[in-house]
Amino acid sequence: MSWPEPDVGLLLLALAVLACLPWARRPLRASRALPVRASRRHRSARELVDGAVVLDLVRAALASGVDVVGAIEAVGAALPGDQGTPYLRAAKALRLGAAWEVAWPVPSAAADALAPAWTDGVDPEPLLVHAAAAIRRTRQARAREAAARLGVRLVLPLGLCLLPAFVLLGLVPVLLAAGLELWGA
């Protein structure tokens, strides 16, 4: 058995390098996983509470009998760092008599969900449940889209790795054996 020509080896090496290019262009991202035993005081600004969880917290505070401003204030005090600041400011402004739109200079899902409850007296629980479900649906749709993109992006590298391996390990020995028997060697 003879080794393939050097040109074939260079071609295979070039194909392998081309297959790795999509991953070489992007830097590796740091994991966003939360530490297992992180206390509330040591949380960094990157560890934010999910918007749907914030809406669930507001709903739980309202279910306990607190008014809307008290619920906003309690959730603002419970959220880490800069994430709770807009809630605390909005609660303070609302207690001082500010209009709803003026009290929330930063848009948030909680402000959008609670606006009809504050201005029109609508029950806030269904609004909060619906807003939290919408956030979760959006997140789930993004995750499905990312999984579909990953499947498409893996086709080329897997094809470039598996097809030559199948040809070299599956077809070449069979063809060599059949060819040797055919030519009587």
pLDDT tens digit string along 67-94? 999 999 999 999 998 899 999 999 999 9
Least confident interval from 30-39, 112-121, 148-157 = 30-39
The Cα 74–Cα 61 span in angstroms is: 8
pLDDT tens digit string along 47-57? 788 999 999 99
What residues have CB less than 8 Å from 71, skipping those under 6 apart? 58, 61, 62
For 164-173, b/e burial (b = at least 16 CB within 10 A) is eeeeeeeeee
